[in-house]
Structure 1
Amino acid sequence: MTVKTIGILLFDGVEELDAVGPWEVLSYWTLAHPEDGYEVRMLAETLDPVRAAKGLRLLPDTTVAEAPPLEVLLYPGGQGTRPRLNDPAELEWVRGQRATVPLLTSVCTGSLVYAAAGVLAGRPATTHWGSLDLLAELDPSIRVRPDDRYVDDGDLITSSGVSAGIDMALHLVDRLAGRERALETRRGIQYDPEPPV
């Protein structure tokens, strides 16, 4: 059986939960059901520890250069996305992923990098509430969805801030493996939010 890879990108300044929330959802599913044929890998430029936005250090599984072909790319957000908006090499890499990866996804301000690379042109999308205006400025053709937790536009899924990445990842499990798997995963990680405020 050929295993399909879901890659979660890591970079300095990545928002912790943007990457680790979807990792929890997707790895729970893929480890519980290897027969579904998916794996999850954390990708980064090097194998050195990545310092996330609030100081958590994360270890990548593989480098971007050595990663297998991806079925899904998940681009998290965080303050670390800001320098990437003006990094020609990074934006070219994103455009290359758009050409080869069947499904691009993002959490929070990861969608800003997609916008800067031009892959959201004319598409509906969302991001963290504090960056909705910037998303529209980066590409005025984007149909910004300010009230959606996530926006599924076929081969591209964007999600709003931080915790919305968990919702998006559960939706991804539903898309890739069915509702039963998604419900089982949700129960397994005991994700049933009841905010106190």
Structure 2
Amino acid sequence: MPQLQILLFDGVEELDAMGPWEVLSAWTRQFAEDGWRASLVSRDGRAVTAAKTAVLTPHHAWSDDVDLLIVPGGAGTRPLLGDAEVRGWLHRAHDRGALVTSVCTGALLLADAGLLAGRPATTYHSCFDELFAIEPTCLPDREARWIDSGEIVTSAGVSAGIDMALHLVDRLAGTDRARQVRRAIQYDPLPPV
């Protein structure tokens, strides 16, 4: 059964993780016949304190048995830059053919692992200089909500992560399924301001 993991870490932006979780867990639970299993993971399987102080408990520690990996953003990405264990985990996932994705400043971790070299990418609107400083060969797109460049998909912040997650359902299970999931979670954005 294909495994989908969303990474949690101290300082993760809650909606960067939980927005895609809402979409992807709705998909995997309501449409089990599609064959995917979703889980929240942290490095050691322990709870984390997110950016706005929510305490999030993962299902288990991260593993190399992953087919779709989502790396959310948040201030907690910065302490992970240069972390050999994080870099290694991201590389192993990519090298074994997993679809590696990011929301917001999760792209900084992908760049730090060398996964955005020469590749188009997007991130949080005020962090493009940081992204380019980490990976000067990436091709930043400041207008895109999400960019699918094959085995790597990046998205801008919060709501773009939800849109990217729906794109992933579309890519992996088809447009009709993505529409069913969107309807099931009643994701019909119409900002009041």
SS class of match (2:126):
helix
Question: SS in structure 2 opposite 1:8?
Answer: strand
Q: Distance in 1 between matches of 2:85 and 2:175?
A: 38
Q: 1:162 aligns with which of 130, 147, 158?
A: 158
* Runs of 5+ consecutive residues of structure 2 not aligned to the other structure: none
Structure 1 pair 47/93, CA: closer, same or farther in 2 (3 Å)?
Answer: closer
Aligned to 1:196: 192
Counterpart position of 2:77? 81
**2:70 & 2:168 partners in 1: Cα distance?**
11
Instruction: Tell me the equivalent position of 1:13.
Output: 11
Per the normalisation by structure 2, the TM-score is 0.96
* Distance (whole Å) between structure 2 residues aligned to residue 4 and residue 157 of structure 1: 18
Residue of 60, 63, 66 corresponding to 1:62: 60
Q: Do 2:12 and 2:76's aligned partners in 1 also have CA atoms closer than 8 Å? A: yes
Q: 1:107 to 1:140 in 2, by over 3 A?
A: same
- Give the structure 1 partner of residue 174 of structure 2: 178
- Are the equivalent residues in 1 in contact too, given 2:27–2:181 (CA < 8 A)? yes
Match of 1:104 in 2: 100
Distance 2:139 2:103 in 1: 17
Is 1:23 aligned to 2:30, yes or no? no
User: 2:110 and 2:41 mapped to 1: Cα distance?
Assistant: 17
The one-letter amino acid paired with 1:114 is: L
Contact in 1 for aligned 2:146/2:153 (Cα 8 Å): yes
- 1:50 corresponds in structure 2 to 48
1:75-129 Cα offsets, whole Å, 9 max, x none, are 0000000011122332222222221242001000000011011110000000000
2:33 aligns to what?
35
The TM-score normalised by the length of structure 1 is: 0.95
Displacement after TM superposition at 1:68 (Å): 6.1
Aligned-pair identity (%): 51
Is contact 1:73-1:101 (8 Å) kept? no
Question: How far is 1:71 from its partner?
Answer: 0.8
The question of 1:143 aligning with 2:139 is answered: yes
* Greater alpha carbon shift after TM alignment, 105-114 vs 42-51: 42-51
Question: How do 1:122-137 and structure 2 match up within 5 A?
Answer: 122-137=118-133
- Corresponding residue SS for 1:86: coil
Comparing 176-185 with 95-104, greater Cα deviation is found at 95-104
C-alpha separation between the residues in 2 aligned to 1:136 and 1:68?
Answer: 28
Which letter does structure 2 place at the counterpart of 1:146?
Answer: R
Amino acid aligned to 1:170: L
Q: What 5-or-longer segments of structure 1 have no aligned partner?
A: none
Q: In angstroms, what is the RMSD of aligned CA positions?
A: 1.1
State the 1:33 CA deviation.
Answer: 0.7
Mean CA deviation greater in 166-175 or 67-76: 67-76
